[in-house]
């Protein structure tokens, strides 16, 4: 039984070391825009110790960050107290 396992390993070892042949379609898949790369982040909800995994593309994360910046600028620039004089 041991000889069969040894023979199987000796026969399959050269097959594992042969590099896979690349097809022309593989090159197209590699040339993907970096903004389309999926990025996952862990977010912890208030009131729990567990994390939630949120996955979006890099472009979506950038758009979300820009929207948060715009909202913050608007909150800072908005007058805090409205003064009316009669």
Comparing CA positions, the residue from 39, 46, 43 lying closest to residue 63 is 39
For residue 41, pLDDT over 90 is answered with: yes
- Residues 43-77 pLDDT 10s: 998 899 999 999 999 999 999 999 999 999 999 98
Q: pLDDT tens for residues 2-23?
A: 666 555 555 565 555 555 555 5
**1 located within any domain:** no
The tokens describing 46, both together, are 């208030």
Structural domain count of the chain: 1
Tens of pLDDT, residues 25-36: 655 555 678 888
Is residue 72, in this structure, part of any structural domain at all? yes
Q: What is the pLDDT of residue 58?
A: 94
Q: Is residue 21 part of a domain?
A: no
Alpha-helix residue ranges (DSSP H) falling in 1-86: 2-17, 24-30, 58-77
Rounded Cα gap, residues 58 and 69, in angstroms: 17
């Amino acid at each position: 039984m041991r000889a069969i396992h040894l023979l199987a390993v000796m026969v399959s070892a050269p097959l594992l070391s042969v590099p896979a042949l690349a097809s022309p379609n593989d090159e197209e898949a590699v040339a993907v825009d970096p903004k389309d790369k999926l990025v996952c982040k862990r977010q912890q909800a208030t009131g729990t110790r567990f994390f939630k995994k949120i996955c979006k593309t890099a472009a979506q994360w950038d758009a979300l960050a820009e929207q948060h910046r715009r909202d913050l600028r608007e909150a800072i620039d908005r007058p805090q107290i409205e003064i009316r004089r009669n």
